[in-house]
Structure 1
Amino acid sequence: MAEIQSPLPGVFYRRPGPDKDPYVQEGDRVETGQVIGMVEIMKQFTEIHTDASGTLESFAVEDSAMVSPGDTIAVVVEG
């Protein structure tokens, strides 16, 4: 199991825009380096990538929630 953590403080978004589909859903297969969301701070957007391949088991934060550095964003079950 791998936890994907926020590298910086800000607001976590699961989709690239309000009218866009989420990058991934819980239960989706993800590959190392795949974008699963982004963190916005002061109009700067940083993509959040997986560092493991497997199944995205769950998001630990809601869409549009505040995150701090080191907060777990999502959990990937490797395999």
Structure 2
Amino acid sequence: MNLHHADVRRILELLDTAEHLDSLDLRIGDVVLQARKPGAALLSTPPAELPATAAPAVRTPPPAPASAPTAAPAAVSSPAASEVPERMIAIRAPMPGMFYRTPAPDQPPFVEEGQQVEASATLCLVEVMKMFNSVAAPAAGRVHSILVEHGQSVEHHQILMIVDPAEAEAAA
């Protein structure tokens, strides 16, 4: 059984929406998928092996003992949703992965702060499992700020950039 991009996206969506699931580890053939919500403790057990004909199964981690200290969530450099200025648009990571500002190591960045962008223009890439996902501008505007460094790991829904659509209206 092959694990496709759509399968990984669906699995990550399930993890994101599951209230009582903080992480999952699964293995399908040679592919190992380990995903954790921010602040979830790492497990020391290896992922369960699935036969090639079985459907992917999600395994919940055992509850941590009450006396064990919990790991503090990693600090995320992006502002909270309430910190995004009212008229501006937060560009969020569609999935956890690596953030890239350039299409290739020897190429210039897709955008710079202060640059005008058209609706649906590629702003950056998020790579997960060697698959690069383009993140497009939802509206025309000016890139107000870029909140993540090139090559940095990002979480699902983490704010990557902030676009000011009012700047596009003023330029028109």
The alignment's TM-score, normalised by the length of structure 2, stands at 0.45
1:36 lines up with 2:109 in the alignment: no
Query: C-alpha root-mean-square deviation of aligned residues, in Å?
Result: 0.7
Distance 1:52 1:41 in 2: 25
Stretches of 4+ moved more than 6 A in 1? Answer: none
1:69 lines up with 2:161 in the alignment: no
SS in 1 for 2:150: coil
Q: Could you say which structure has the larger radius of gyration?
A: 2
The alignment's TM-score, normalised by the length of structure 1, stands at 0.96
How many angstroms does 1:73 deviate by? 0.5
Alignment identity in percent? 37
Where structure 2 has 5 or more consecutive residues not aligned to the other structure, the ranges are: 1-87, 167-172
| Structure number with higher relative contact order (C-alpha < 8 Å, ≥ 6 residues apart) | 1
| Structure showing the higher strand proportion among its residues | 1
Opposite residue 58 of structure 1, the aligned amino acid is: S
Matches for 1:20-59 after TM superposition, within 5 Å: 20-59=107-146
| Structure showing the higher helix proportion among its residues | 2
Where structure 1 has 5 or more consecutive residues not aligned to the other structure, the ranges are: none
